[in-house]
Structure 1
Amino acid sequence: MRLHRNLCFSVIDGLTLIFNEGNYADKVIQQLLKRDKRWGSRDRAFVAETTYDIVRWKRLYAEIAEVKEPFTRDNLWRMFAVWATLKGIKLPDWTYFENTPTRKIKGKFDELSKIRKFKESIPDWLDELGEKELGKAFWTKEIAALNEQADVILRVNTLKTTKEKLQAELFDQDIEGNFLPDYPNALKLKERANVFLTEQFKNGLFEVQDASSQLVAEFLNVQPGMRVVDACAGAGGKTLHIASLMENKGQIIALDIYENKLHELKRRAKRNGAFNIETRGIDSTKVIKKLYDKADRVLIDAPCSGLGVLRRNPDAKWKLQPDFIEKIKITQQDILQQYSKMVKVGGQLVYATCSILPSENQNQVDKFLTSESGKNFTFVKDNKVLAHKSGYDGFYMALLERKQ
């Protein structure tokens, strides 16, 4: 591979914004990809994937390059040289790469690869927490899986098409996708592609949604004609899946505290042809109280640490703090206590997170079931999805039923 100056400069600019300004990697990369209209798909892929790679391995590369935060541009070029050397890419004769100790880089890499927190490039506190909650063997496997690049998985919108038809239409555009056993609406792309530019996406025939995330709506046991509440709907990935499973029959009430996310959900619902969704912003407790005892199904896709989705959000490792996890656990329990009251007698509730930590998952469910609000519920089943076992994102979901 030959390195091109303007592409490398874009990567360095992006890393400066992500590491030193605290910007979100996905937003930075979106901006970088609009820089030069002459760039082809390979150029854009290089910028996106190289930036994500260096973000993912920040601690390891910084340690090898012997640089510390906040990073100067020279520091970032040294980290870039480490990335290129470890990838077997020949460094061009540029000033930034003068005196790069190639042999020393490889030796240091071999040495640090024996220590998990460096090998997997994670903060000390996160390494300790993962081992404490999952055990040494499971955590070692899981964090390695969470450092792999995520596959591109589509969820076919069955309100508009079938996965066989979508597969054939995308194949005609040189986008090859395979069906996944045990994931009825999933199509896994053989190679990464910008599917958002396709007519099929613009016409609402699919959404991009990880295979593990697609399990949540299925877990909710919805039927056409039900009244379903998606209590933490966000921009509506799971809401739209629920709408397709309900065949547009019945009512879905999508709740969230962020109005801008609900506006995005409305836009997506229109594109998807999902007409049974009503959005309501949670601006007071009245919004929840009005729905007490009214819902056949309630989904609580709770705010969480997001540790299960590090493959697609590698910068979260560096933004996350231990006190945030402690605070979010209080929020999770509070949401469970309050929102569970929307389930009517005989109805069901799913509590889900994209975390792999038992303290955010089964421990929260156990705590709820022994509380005053939870005594009316019975535990039906749960699903602990780990990335190293499934090959997809880490997720948790528990199904509870309100007693007759």
Structure 2
Amino acid sequence: MKKKSLLILFIALVLIVAIPFSLIACNKDEGVNDDDYTLVLSGLVDKNGNELEDISVTKAQLRQLFETKPVVHGSDDPVYASDKTDDDGNPIAHTVKGVYLEDVLAALTDSAGIEAYGTMTLNATDGYVTVITEEIFNSSGRGSKMILALEYDGVTLNPDEKSGAIRAVFPDQIANAWVKKLNKIEFSTELLKAPAITKFTALESLTGDESYVGKVQLGGEEVSRTYYGYPIAGLIESGVLDAKETDKMHCVAWDYNSAANKFEEYSAWTKYEVYNGGWLLLKEEVDGQIIDLDRRPEFDGPDFSSGMTVKNVLSLSVYNNAIVCLEKARIRFAENNGNEFALRKLLDLLNMYDKDDDYIVTSPSGDTLTLTAEKVKTAVIAKENGTFVVKSGLSAVEVATVEKK
């Protein structure tokens, strides 16, 4: 009897030790050890504005910080991306465990607070890059506290998981900021504001489109597909766009927001290394036929990672110049889907209107029409027989460029 009691006691002790150990192993995702995985933080400044050296934060450090500064959003308190819904139009709930970036800066660096920064460039191991502004990440304003997720929708993250070792999560912000496989954050004190444009070129006036062969997933298989449009690098080289390596590009789209069930204006920023390899795409080749892309123009490229594409592009602006899709502007601004819209509305979108300036409209053949700021108030851009013209009183000229003088 005594031996039997001792045996029962021994089994109980084994279970007491084994069960927690098995839970720990599960939390480590069946033995995957990514404690040495690093997240690089660059461009940091201290409270006096002095630049700091790059810092590499390990996954082990983030886990340790989670022990004292945990951020947990369970099924009773999930997080949502502002522009993602299910097939029924309901916001998609996500559960998250991780730490706030703000707590990482405070505990593991000599950085100033998050409010010291104007932009962050998020980089992923798969090549995904996005530039986000303080409106997204500065929680003292309209932004949300950035969560460095260690667990996402019940899955412990690791380098082999589809979300990667670390995922950026911005509750109630657009989904393209929720970067998977995050491995680097570039901080900048620069405040990004929409460029003040002095000249725009109509996309419809461009000629000599080019093509590249890209890859697309169809039915679970990767197939080649040829796309047609204009490489941004070529537009810079030809002088259509003027950009330096330090200039960021501002992209504005008029696209469908499934969460709101309507078309809305969407904007994004990207850096030179990305947009210089990008294209404005209009067509694709399918089964030997060249057809229009459904949501043209698209800002995409042969080396763009999934999620970097911007569809229904209205304008691409960099420095003080822009390319504008007038057809998309017509859809955006024309009343009752009509064929004309106010020139002033487009100039306002481009931060281009000034009451003290004149505006010169130039046609593809070189004809010009000069408008005072007063005349701009009543001028319209009209679509006539597939061509866009600026009309002011009895004067009209086809649009290739509009320049502020």
TM-score range, shorter chain: under 0.3
Larger radius of gyration: 2
Return the structure number with greater helix share.
1
TM-score, normalised by the number of residues in structure 2: 0.24
Return the structure number with greater strand share.
2
